[in-house]
Amino acid sequence: MIKEKIAAKITEKKIRELADQTGIDLLGFFSVEPLRECLPYLTRRHREGYSTGFEGGEPEDRIDYLRAFPAAKTGIVIGVSNYQSFATEADDQVRGQLASVTWGEDYHRVLGRKMNALMEAINHEMKTIGSSPVHYQAFVDNSPLVDRGSAYRAGLGFFGKNNCLINHQLGSFFFIGQILVDCYFQFKTPKLVKNGCGTCRLCLDACPQRALGAGFSLEPSKCISYLTQKKVLSADEEKRISNYLYGCDTCQKVCPYNQHLEQTREPAFWIEADTAAPVLEDILTLTNKGFKTRFGNTASGWRGKKNLIRNAQLILKNKKRHD
């Protein structure tokens, strides 16, 4: 009989203290039973052809933690704010917009560092109290797992009509990472956050192409964020690129929960207003070296220079058509 690995000596309170010291804004724990509460939504999206191709797996794969890390016994999920606000650039330059997901250093790297630092701190504490080290696997949008589903199960927020997870403290402007560990941490069962959208439909009405459905659905072919990342666009899709070079924050900006937020305390995400709204002429003349220097370390870098230049061209083309 194999003895189960248990880490009961380290408390939930201690782990939360270590997380705060690591610069983590939100932290929760979740069980690693299959995420069946998300399966009907994932299955419906798949059936209706609303998958983007970025998900990395079939619906059943996306709810199974053990496929991602067979030794998993407990899950930890973190949230780190990336919120910033800027005044509109007051000049006569024609500019595009970069969504908040691209601001500063690539969030995959930032959250990856924080999760590794947290686990190093946990293992240091485990060693201090005479327990075996914890083995783990950390994920930030790099597996089929549903990060928002894990965060919901851990009590970090509710699913908004804009398809984002909304936290009462950070709104929806935060990144999510999750850690699967090979031992049982003792934690208080999370209280699920009640949906707070009510009858509000600001995000649905603000979406430029009406990509958001009333039943918490998203049609990718109408979503500006998806289209800016898509490699090949149809003629109709090209007409929908109007001001964003990468991503789209429209549905988040109008959300009542995203008003009066505090700026992120994470320096790796801090940028200047000019970075959030680059001059389109500068994008059109990007060299490979210029792209690598300017965007290579951001979350927009993965799609390459061609997508940004194409989107800049489409913004200018569509602007002329509407002027």
pLDDT in tens, 283-309: 999 999 999 999 999 999 988 899 999
> What is the pLDDT at residue 53?
64
How far apart (Å, rounded) are the C-alpha atoms in residues 204 and 217?
10
Cα–Cα distance measured from residue 256 to residue 259, given in angstroms and rounded to the nearest whole number: 6
- Packing angle, helices 288-295 and 305-322, rounded to 10: 90
For 89-129, the pLDDT digits (tens) are 677 889 999 999 999 999 999 999 999 999 999 999 999 98
Q: Which is nearest to 52 in space by CA: 231, 213, 245? A: 231
Q: Tally the C-alpha atoms within 13 A of residue 222's C-alpha that lie toward its C-beta.
A: 14
pLDDT number for residue 5? 59
- Torsion 111-117-120-121 (CA) sign: negative
Q: Within 13 Å of residue 231, how many CA atoms lie on the same side as its CB?
A: 6
Are 244 and 225 within 8 A, CB to CB?
A: yes
**How much is the pLDDT for 71?**
97
- The pLDDT value given to residue 303: 86
Query: Which residue out of 61, 106, 141, 205 is catalytically annotated?
Result: 141
- Has 323 been annotated as catalytic? no
The pLDDT score that the predictor gives to residue 57 is: 74
Predicted local confidence at residue 3, as pLDDT: 47
User: Which residues in the chain belong to E strands, given as ranges?
Assistant: 26-30, 74-81, 97-98, 136-139, 158-159, 165-166, 174-181, 212-213, 217-218, 244-246
pLDDT mean over 274-280: 95
Q: Is this model's pTM higher than 0.75 or not?
A: yes
pLDDT at 55: 63
Q: Are 145 and 34 in contact (CB under 8 A)?
A: no
H-helix or E-strand containing 121? helix 107-128
How would residue 321 be classed by pLDDT, with cut points 50, 70 and 90?
A: confident
Contact of 306 with 245, CB cutoff 8 Å: no
Q: Which of 44-53, 80-89, 143-152, 249-258 has the lowest mean pLDDT?
A: 44-53
